[in-house]
Amino acid sequence: MIFDIGHLILLTALILSAFGILAGYLGGRWRNTRLIQSSFNAVYAVAVLVFAATVILWYGLLTDAFQLSYVWNHSERALSAFYKFSALWGGQAGSLLFWCMILSGYSAVVAISNRNRHQALMPYVNAMMLVSSLFFLTLLVFATDPFKRVGFVPPDGQGLNPLLQNFWMIIHPVMLYLGYVGMAVPFAFAVGALISKRLGNEWVHTVRRWTLIPWMFLSAGIIMGSQWAYMELGWGGYWAWDPVENASFLPWLTGTAFLHSIVIQEQRGILKVWNVVLIWLTYFLVILGTFTTRSGIIESVHSFARSDVGPYFLAYLIIILFGFLWLLFDRLPLLRGEHSIDSYTSREAAFLANNWLFAGIAFATLWGTFFPMFSEILTGDRISVAAPFFNKVNGPLFLLLLLLMGVAPLLGWRHTTLAAFRKQFTFPLIAGAIVGLLVFIFARSLYPVIGLSICGFVTATIVQEYVRGAMARRATTGENALVAVANLWRRNGRRYGGYIVHLGIVMIGVAVIGNEFYQQSLSVTLARGESATIGRYELVYNGMTSERQSNRIEFNALIDAFNLDSGRKVGAITPQRNIYDKTPDMPTSEVGLHMTPFEDVYVVLNGWESGGATATFTIYINPLTMWMWVGGIVLVLGTMIAAWPHPTQRRSETVRSLAYATGDD
Amino acid sequence: MHKNKPHVYFRTPLKLIFSLLLLCLLLVAPSAVDAQESGGESGAPAQVATVTPNDVNEIAKELWCPLCSGVRLDACELKACEQMRDMIAEQLAEGQGKQEIKDYFIAQYGPQVLGEPPLEGFNWLAWILPFAALIGGGVFVWRNTRRMVSASPKEAPATAQTVADDEYSQRLEEELKRYD
Amino acid sequence: MTELTGADPNVLTASEAEIAAQARRRSVRIWQSVFVLILLGFVGLLVARLIQTNQSEHRASGQAPPFTFTTFEGETISLADLQGKGVVLNFWASWCAPCRDEAALLEAMWRREKDNGIVFIGLDYLDQEPAAKAYLAEFDVTYPNGPDLQSAAARRYGIKGVPETFFIDPQGNIQQMVIGPIVSQAQMDAYLDKIRP
C-alpha cells in the first residue's frame, strides 16, 4: 500500500536522476536543446517525487504507522503532533530523506530561477545537482530505507530521543540542513563552469548569491544549535567543539572564506583557482561531516546510531575529491589571474589575510576533530581533543580575524596612501583604546582587554563607514540620515549589509569573551526556604512542583531571584527536569534562566531529595550571553540586506551577462 | 595646506594611543600573572577543612568525562562521574593540589580526561601541525604576493587608490574626497 | 610551445620564457602531487577507521589480547601467567547497575571452580577505588580484582560497556564473549564447559 508506493517513488526518483545526469551532461556537450530541456524536467520531477515520498513518511509518523521501522523507532502515540512532525529528522533514514528533499528543492529552485540564464552552464549545473541527489537516493533505496517494515504492527513506538523534544530541535536541524545542503549549489555551479570552460565572471555573480543564502541558513542553524545546547545540555556553555558541532562549523568557515575571496575575484580577476577550491572544500566538508556523524567513526553525543551508510559515503567522498581535482587540474590554464596585488596595505591584501586565517582555522578545526581518530589508529592511545585544544589554537586566530574585520574596510583597493590611512584609522583606534581602558578598569586580565578593545575598534569602523556613507549621500541628495542609511542598503546592500553581518559577529565575539573569561559558577544544595548568593544575585529556593505531560513528568524547582544591590526581586527562575515514560533513565534538563543584557543567571537542577525538601543546583552567571543571540539575529538581517537583489545591481548584472554573452567564447 | 593639516592633527593622538595601549599592556601583564599565582595558591591548602562542591567543580571543570565524549566532568550526570567528583573531594580533603589530582586522573583513566592532546610523543603533532600549516600557508601567500607587489608599477595612478566596489561606491568615494 | 617560438621573433627570449614556463609547470605538477598525496593519506585513514569501527563490533573470538594488572591487594597478574588454565575475564564497575545482577553468580562460580583450573578475573573499568572496594565487600568477592588502568585492557578487548565477560580457554583463545550480565546458571555452566582445561 501507501508505504510500498513510497519506496517505489524513491526508486523512480533514483532512475530519473540518473537519466537527468546523462541528459544534462550530453545536452550540454552537444548543445542539444531537447536533452537540456530533459535535464530541467528531470530536476523538477525528482523534486516532486522526493517531496511526495517525504509527505508519505510524514503521513506515517502522524498516523502512528508503527509497522514502519522508522516510525516505530522514532515516535510514539503520546508524542505531540509537533514532535511527530519533527521526528522526520530525528533519525538516520528520515533525516537523509529530509536532506534529499531539501537538495532536490534547491535543485528545482536553481533550475527555475536560471532557466533563461547561463545557457551553457545550466545543463551541467542540473547534472551536478542530480549527482548529489542520486547519491542520497542511492542511500535511501539501498542502505537505509525509511519505509522498511518491522514485520508486524507494534502497539506503540519506542519514542523520540528526549533530547530532541525541544522547540529548538524542530527549527535548528531545518536551518542547518538548509545551509548544509545548499552548499551543493555553488559546487554544482563551479563544476558546471569548469566543465563548460565558461570561467568568466558571469557564473561568479550568481554563485555568490547562492552561497550567501545557504550561508545565512547555516549561520542561523549553528546559532540555534548553540541555543539548544545552552538551554538543554545544562553545562553553562553553548559550544563544546564537539565533532558534530565542528562538522557544521567547518563548511561555515570555508564558505565564509569563499564569500570574502569571491569579492577579490570580482574586483581584480585573481584567486580564481583558490575560489573554486574553496567551493569544492565546502561541499567536501559537508559530505565529510555527514559521513563522520553517521558512520560511527567518531564518537559524539550527537551522532546517529551506527549504520551501514559509511562505505557509501566514503565512496562518494572519494569520487567528489578526485573527480573534481582531475577536472580542476585539467582546467588550470584557464584559471589564470587577470591582475595582481599591488600593495600590502590594500583591501585585496586584507582579503588575502582573511582567507589565510579562515583556512588556518578550518584546518586546525579539521585536524583537531580527526586527530583522536588518527592517534588511535597510529598509536593505539585514546585521547580526547575538546574545548581546551580548540580554544588555545583557534582563540588567537579568531582574535586576529576580528582585528582584520576592523582593518580591512579601512583600506582602499589596490593601495592605501598614508593620508588616507590616518584619516581612516584615527576614530576607530581611539574608540578601541577607550573600550580597552574601560574594560581594564573593571576587570584586569589580558585577553578580555585585548579582545573587547578590538570589538570596540571594529564597531567604530562600522559606525564610521556608515556615517561617511550617509553624509556623502546627504551632501549630494540632501536626504535625512535614516533615508540615507536605507538608501545605502538599497543601493549598495552587499557592502553595507556586510557591515551589519560584521556587527553581528562582533556581538557574538563580545558574548564569547564575556562567557569565556567572566563566567562564575556555584554548586549548592538548598533546603526549602534557603538561599544562595552568587555575583550580585540572591536565589531563594521555594520547593518543587511536578506536572504530568502526555509522555513525561515535568519536575520544576521554584526559585526567586533577588538583586542584592537594589534588594528587589528580579524574577522567578524555574529549572526543570523531564522524565520520559519511554526512557526513564535518560532524564533531560531544561535550565532556568533570567536573561539581561549584562548577564544571564543560569540555573541547572541537578537533583532533589524527599520530594523536594532539598535540591541541588549548579548556578552560573554568564556575562553578556544575550548578545550571542542578538548577534545571530543581526547577522541574519545583515545577510538578507546583502543578498537582496537591488535595482542597480540587477541592471548591471544583465549588462554584464550581455557583455559576456557577446564577448566571451 | 589641506593636505598638511592632517599631519599635524593626527600624529599626536596616534602616539598617544600607542603609548596608552602600551601602558595598558604593561599594567595588565603583571596583574594577569598575579591573578594566576594567587589562584594557584588558594586552590589547595586553604580548603583542607571543608571541601565544598565548588572546590570540586573548580577541578572537575578542567577534566573530561572518560566515558562520554566531549562532556566536562563537572557537568556530567553519570554515576561514574559523580563518583569521580567524590574522588576529587576526597583528595582535596587529603590536602592534594590541583595538579596532583589531575595527574592521578591521567594515571587512572588515561590522557583522554584532559580534553586536549598531552604534550608528548606523537601528540605533539596535534599542536604543531595547525601552526606549521598556518605559517606555511602564510609564507606561500606572502611569497606570491611579493612577486605581484614588486612586479606592479610603483607609482600607482592617484585615482587608483579608490577603485571601489562598483560604480556607486566609486561615486561615493569621490563624494567623500570632496568633503574632506 | 612551438607556436610561441614561431610567433616570437626573438628566439633567445622565447626559449628562456619556455624554460621558465616549463619550470613553472613542473612546480605546479609537484604541488598537485603533494596535494593529491595528502588527500590520499586522509582518505586512507578514513578507510582504515571505518574498517576498524566495523570490526571492533565483533571481537568475539581468536587469541585473547595479553594484559597485566595489579589487584587492589597489590598483587600483579598477567594473562600470560595463566596459560593452561581457563580464564573468565569480567569487566565491571561499581557505578554499573547491571553488574550487580551477575556479581553474586560470578563469585559463587569462582568458589565452585577455583580448584578445577578455572580462574576468575575482574577488571574494574573507569572506576574509583573506594567505591570499587565497597562494591567488592558488598558482594564478598574473593577472586582477583583490580583497576584497568587507563582502560588499557578494555580497549584491547574492544568492550562497548560494562559488564562484558570473556571466556578464555587454556590455550589463550576467546571461546565466548557475553555483553551484559550473565544471570542464568545454565548459560554460565555451558560457557564454563567450553574453557575447562
Q: What is the DSSP string of A137-185?
A: HHIIIII--TT-B-SS--SS-----GGG-SHHHHHHHHHHHHHHHHTHH
Amino acid in position C59: R
A residues 274..333 contacting C (CB < 8 A): 291, 295-297, 306, 310-311, 314, 317-318, 321-322, 325, 329, 332
Total structural domains within chain A: 2
pLDDT at A647: 57
Say which residue, A183 or C11, is predicted with more confidence.
A183
pLDDT at A339: 76
User: Mind listing the pLDDT tens digit for each residue in C35-88?
Assistant: 999 999 999 999 988 887 776 555 566 788 889 999 999 999 999 888 889 999
Q: Is residue A546 predicted with pLDDT exceeding 70? A: yes
Range of the structural domain that residue A593 is part of = 520-626
Which CATH number is C59-194 given? Answer: 3.40.30.10
Amino acid in position C31: W
Distance (Å, rounded) from C-alpha A155 to C-alpha A51? Answer: 28
C46–A314 C-beta distance less than 8 A: yes
Q: Which among C95, C130, C150 has the least Cβ separation from residue B79? A: C95
CA-wise closest residue to A218 among A183, A185, A167, A170: A183
C-alpha cell of residue A342: 599591488
**Model-level pTM?**
0.86
The residue of chain C nearest to residue A376, with distances taken between CA atoms, is C49
Distance (Å, rounded) from C-alpha A543 to C-alpha A608? Answer: 10
Distance (Å, rounded) from C-alpha C73 to C-alpha A247? Answer: 46
- Tell me how close the Cα of B152 comes to any Cα of chain A, in angstroms: 6
Q: Sort B28 into a burial class: Cβ within 10 Å, 0-12 / 13-18 / 19+.
A: buried
Q: Is residue A474 predicted with pLDDT exceeding 90? A: no
C128–B109 C-beta distance less than 8 A: no
Counting one residue from A and one from C, how many pairs have CB atoms under 8 Å apart? 41
Burial A274-307 (b: 16+ CB within 10 A, else e): bbbbbbbbbbbbbbbbbbbbbbbbbbbbbbbeeb
The domains of chain C are located at: 2-56, 59-194
Residues of C in contact with A322 (CB under 8 A): 36, 39
CA-wise closest residue to A292 among A260, A245, A223, A350: A245
> By mean pLDDT, which of A216-220, A525-529, B99-103, C157-161 is the weakest?
C157-161
Whole-angstrom CA distances from A458 to A310, A410, A423, C19 are 44, 10, 16, 48
Q: Is residue A658 predicted with pLDDT exceeding 90? A: no
Distance (Å, rounded) from C-alpha A177 to C-alpha A166? Answer: 17
Say which residue, B79 or C13, is predicted with more confidence.
B79
| Pair A383, A525 in one domain | no
The domains of chain B are located at: 1-43, 44-116, 127-178
> By mean pLDDT, which of A290-304, A323-337, B129-143, C150-164 is the weakest?
A290-304
Domain assignment of residue A192, yes or no:
yes
ipTM of this predicted structure: 0.84
The residue of chain B nearest to residue A419, with distances taken between CA atoms, is B6
A422–B112 C-beta distance less than 8 A: no
Residues of A in contact with C46 (CB under 8 A): 291, 297, 314, 317
Q: Is residue A253 predicted with pLDDT exceeding 70? A: yes
Q: Which among B21, B54, B116 has the least Cβ separation from residue A389? A: B116
C-alpha cell of residue A169: 530541535
Share of chain A above pLDDT 70, in %: 96
Counting one residue from A and one from B, how many pairs have CB atoms under 8 Å apart? 231
Beta bridge pairs of residue C147: C124
Amino acid in position C99: C
Residues of A in contact with B169 (CB under 8 A): 492, 495
Q: Note whether A354 and A264 are within 8 A (CB).
A: no
- Tell me how close the Cα of A324 comes to any Cα of chain C, in angstroms: 11
Q: How many CB atoms lie within 10 A of CB A201?
A: 17
B20–A341 C-beta distance less than 8 A: no
Q: Is residue B146 predicted with pLDDT exceeding 60? A: yes
B66–C151 C-beta distance less than 8 A: yes
CATH assignment at residue A598: 2.60.98
Domain assignment of residue A359, yes or no:
yes
Q: Would you say domain B44-116 falls under CATH 1.10.8.640?
A: yes
Residues of A in contact with C32 (CB under 8 A): 325, 329
pLDDT at A100: 96
pLDDT at B15: 42
Domain assignment of residue A153, yes or no:
yes
User: Mind listing the pLDDT tens digit for each residue in C80-133?
Assistant: 888 889 999 999 999 888 899 999 999 999 999 989 899 999 999 988 888 899
C-alpha cell of residue A493: 546592500
Q: Which helix (DSSP H) or strand (DSSP E) does residue A521 occupy?
A: strand A520-527
Residues of B in contact with A414 (CB under 8 A): 156, 160-161, 163
Residues of A in contact with B115 (CB under 8 A): 384-389
Task: Report which listed range, A231-245, A352-366, A414-428, is most confident.
Answer: A352-366
> By mean pLDDT, which of A235-239, A415-419, A458-462, B112-116 is the weakest?
A415-419
Region C159-183: what's the mean pLDDT? 88
Distance (Å, rounded) from C-alpha B43 to C-alpha B53? Answer: 13
pLDDT band at B30; cut points 50, 70, 90: very low
pLDDT band at A199; cut points 50, 70, 90: confident
| Strand C86-92, strand C118-124: pairing | parallel
Distance (Å, rounded) from C-alpha A290 to C-alpha A188? Answer: 18
pLDDT at A420: 80
pLDDT at C133: 92
Put simply, whether C94 touches B (Cβ < 8 Å) is: yes
Residues of A in contact with B74 (CB under 8 A): 235, 521, 523, 618
